[in-house]
Amino acid sequence: MNLIVRYILFSLLTVTLSGLSAQKVAWGATFKHDLYNRYANPSDDIASRSAGSALINIGFGPKMWIGNGDFAFSPEATIMWSPFALSTRDYKGLGALSFPILGKFEFLGISNVNHDGNFGFSIGGGVQFSKTELWYLKDSFQEQGVERSMFRTYIVEAAFGYGMSGFDVHFFVRYGWSGGTDANTLNIGMGYDFNIPKLREETDSDF
């Protein structure tokens, strides 16, 4: 199943890039604020495998746009830090990190390559690497064999928001699953994208 999914994603990416080869390419940054996230490690049949956090979750990373008008293909990679993520079922430690790497199809306002303000949406997918219990993994759990290593999930994301002149703000939901284990992830929050060349162009045009 994972091989089929990878083939479909690769085919869509190839077709999209071939269609965008003559379009504008821009670079910038994306900032994330998870309102809620939850990371479920692969089961070890020892301790609760989930850890989550609300509100105090921040992330940032590089982003590109390839497109024109009301559509763009946009790869991005971010690092997400949740300093107070924990398991409420059995506290084992504190903190979580995740590294989502996405390719997104962005439409209308949040394509970030248009001038006029408008609402828009995006859909995308990729892979995410996550780790929970960054600090203070309790000795009592370590002695039982509990480990918290980085784990991988395949992710899909949908977003809706508003953008204009190189900036957008959007609400997103991202879900991840693992092909070989029962690990899964959920991130719900706000994103803020900055298309640097477009912002410079708009700023220069005002003077």
- Residue 125's pLDDT is what? 96
- Residue 158's pLDDT is what? 98
- Residue 62's pLDDT is what? 97
φ/ψ of 5, rounded to 5, equals -60, -45
Q: Tens-of-pLDDT digits for all 207 residues of the chain?
A: 566 556 555 655 565 555 555 568 899 999 999 999 999 999 877 777 889 999 999 999 999 999 877 889 999 999 999 999 998 888 888 999 999 999 999 999 888 877 778 999 999 999 999 999 888 666 666 666 567 789 999 999 999 999 988 899 999 999 999 988 899 999 999 999 999 988 888 776 655
List, in order of start, the domains of the chain with CATH numbers: 2-205 (2.40.160.20)
- Residue 45's pLDDT is what? 73
CA distances, 175 to each of 20, 74, 126, 144 (Å): 27, 18, 10, 30
Length of the chain in residues, anyone?
A: 207
Residues 106, 59: contact at Cβ < 8 Å?
A: no
Q: The pTM is what?
A: 0.84
Under 8 Å CB-to-CB from 192, ≥6 apart: which residues? 30, 31, 32, 33, 167, 168, 169
- Residue 117's pLDDT is what? 85
CA distances, 115 to each of 4, 79, 139, 171, 184 (Å): 38, 29, 56, 21, 38
Instruction: Name the DSSP class of 143.
Output: T
